[in-house]
Every structure is written in C-alpha cells, then in structure tokens.
Amino acid sequence: MLNPSEFRQQFDEHGFVVVERLLDLEEDLQPLVEDYEALLDRLAEEWYIAGKIPSAFRDLPFGQRLAAVISQSDEDLYRHFDISMPHGPIDEHTPIHLSEPVFNFLRNRRLLDQVEMLIGPEIYCNPIQHVRIKPPEAIVVNNPHQSNLVKTTTWHQDQGVARVEADATEMLTVWIAVTDATIENGCLCVVPGSHQTGLTTHCPVGDHGGLLSIPNKLIEENVVPLPMPAGSVLFMHRLTKHTSLTNKSDSIRWSFDLRYQPVGQPTGRDEFPGFVARSRRQPESALTDFGAWQALWADARRYLAEHGRPNRTNRWSEDNPVCA
C-alpha cells in the first residue's frame, strides 16, 4: 500500500489513485451483499404477489435474479436500490434504500482513513451517492428505465454534475468495486491528468437534465481503463474525466460511488442531506445514529414532495454548438 505522502502525490499528479483490496470482502462488503440480496428478495416477492412479474425467481443466484426481475417487470428496480433520489419529480413514496449496512458503509473506517489523507480530518459525506449493479448490457438494452445506474456511463467530470455553487468544494469521489470490475464487465476509464485542465463542456442528455455528458469528440486524450479486483477503491478528483465501459460479460458489475468533502462547503445538491462522517475538531458532530440519518432523508423527501425540486441551474445548454 502507498504511504500517505505517495498517495497524496499520485492523486495530485494523476487526478486519481486506485488502492487495490483496501476493503475486506467479509467484514466491509458482505453486509452490503446480504442487504441487497434481502432487498431483492423482498421486492421480487412483493411484485410476484402483485402480479407484476411471472415468478419470484427464488432459485436464482443474486445476479441472475436481478437480471430476471429487471427484464420481466415494468418497474424501475434501481429506484429501490439507489441510495439517493432521482433528478425528476419526487413524491412522498419515492423509493430510496436507507439501510443500516449502507449507513455503516458511508462511515467505513478504512474508507475514511484514506479520505482523510486527501481532504483532512473534517469530513462531510456528500449526498451525491449511488449504487450501480449493472447487469449484462444485452439484458438492459431495451429497458425503459434508461439510467447510468444500470447501463454504461458516458464521459463526464463529477464537478459538472454538481451545481455551480459547489465548484470550489473539494469534493472527492470514492468508487468501490464490490465485484471484480473488468474490461469485459464495464470497469471505469479515466483520462489521467485531466483534472489539471478545468471543467469541460457537458451536454444535457436526458433524465430531467440530470444526465450530462462530455461529447466523445472532446475526449481526444489518453484513455486508461481501470480494472479493479473486488474490495479495491478508486479515489478520484472532481475534475478527472471518466466513463464506464459496457458490461459485455454474462454477470453483474457492482460498485458504489460515494463522495466526501471538507465540512462546511456546499455539496452541490443541497436539497439532499449530507452529514459529518468524521471530525477531529468536534467529534460529537459526527452522525453515528442510523435512525437520525433515515430521518434526514425522510424530511428532505417530504419537503421536496410538497415544494418541488429547486430549479436545476444547468450551466450548459443543449444549443451549444459542440452538443449538436
């Protein structure tokens, strides 16, 4: 493993660092695997009873069961899996997966120790956070719920998908491989050093203005795929250009992408709740109560259901000539 100064230096130079097998599969990831297995089981049973799927697919292993449920139902399964809310309208029933294993994972000591080396000990968990369990592309290619949580992710910089007010926020992306991420199953690709040349034009590509993508013609540089064994973690600068490959394998590609920043800076999605994950200065300000975290999201959802979403001030217009 890199020592703290090598870690920091590589991050500053390349705009990303992969720490192979940082997490323990049993201790850190297995609780999440079981949590999502239980969630899929609950949804499959519910939808089967409601006549939304022809079978509950009880005998299939997780990845195949997921693929079967996605391909056999009209429901947007990923809305129930994700740990954030959608870009579109929100009502009081908008699903979001707020489980105790997920909350514990956001506060995982091994993750936060590395994060601290890059942004210091006052660490805020930014609410731009997702789980992506991507089935083989062939299964989802015609799925009506087109989302990059399910399918290939197009080129972007994470600063581009947060609002302008967070441009100066030192937001750090932390991408965790739950299954091995390979070139075949759709690992991430980055442009090393691209964090040094500022924010590039993104074009709106759907999902209520929530999906933004850098046109391929603006990605002329050196593209590096990042295959990562399960338990490995990518730490990425908010300006590093990245994309994902297509899942051409016959099994799932599972990752989490979380974001952390110093306490007190705008998150770029302030309508959703973040929390203090670690603080040296004020240790008691760190959120450790799972119920309190759930309540923050419940309050945000109630508020947004009643008042609507703040206008998404998109800094790029579809009319931009490079978007044509």
Ligand X SMILES: O=C(O)CCC(=O)C(=O)O
Instruction: Name which of residues 94 to 133 contact ligand X (CB under 6 A).
Output: 132
CB of 80 to ligand X, least distance (A): 18
The CA-atom distances, in angstroms, between 237 and each of 79, 117, 144, 194, 299 are: 27, 13, 32, 9, 31
Is residue 152 within 8 Å of 257, Cβ to Cβ?
no
Q: Determine the Cα–Cα distance for residues 20 and 230; give it in Å rounded to an integer.
A: 8
Q: Does residue number 173 form part of the binding site for ligand X (CB under 6 A)?
A: yes
Of the residues 158, 235, 259, 261, which one makes contact with Fe ion according to CB under 5 A: 158
Using CB distances below 5 to 8 A depending on partner kind, what does residue 175 bind out of ligand X, Fe ion, none? ligand X
Q: Which residues of 56-75 are buried (b: 16+ CB within 10 A; e: fewer)?
A: bbeebebbbbbbbbbebbeb
The answer to whether 239 touches 199, Cβ cutoff 8 Å, is yes
Could you say which of 169, 182, 200, 255 contacts ligand X (CB under 6 A)? Answer: 255
Q: Which helix (H) or strand (E) holds 262?
A: strand 253-262
d(Cα 287, Cα 29) in Å, to the nearest integer? 21
Q: How far is the CB of 304 from ligand X (least distance, A)?
A: 23
Q: Is position 244 an interface residue for ligand X (rule: CB under 6 A)?
A: yes
Please state the closest distance from residue 242 (CB atom) to Fe ion, in A.
Answer: 6
Residue with tokens 């998404």: 312
Residue 225 has phi, psi (to 5 degrees) of -75, 150
Residue placing its CB nearer to ligand X in the complex, 53 or 214: 214
Regarding 82 and contact with ligand X (CB under 6 A), the answer is: no
Note whether 122 binds Fe ion by CB under 5 A: no
How many residues bind to ligand X according to rule CB under 6 A?
10
Binding status of residue 257 toward ligand X by CB under 6 A = yes
132 binds, among Fe ion, ligand X, none (CB under 5 to 8 A by kind): ligand X
**Smaller CB distance to Fe ion: residue 181 or 286?**
181
For 152-169, give the DSSP string: PPPSB-HHHHS-GGGTTS
Residue 153 in the binding site for ligand X (CB under 6 A): yes
Binding residues (CB under 6 A) for ligand X: these are 132, 153, 158, 173, 175, 188, 242, 244, 255, 257
Give the residues lining the site for Fe ion (CB under 5 A).
Answer: 158
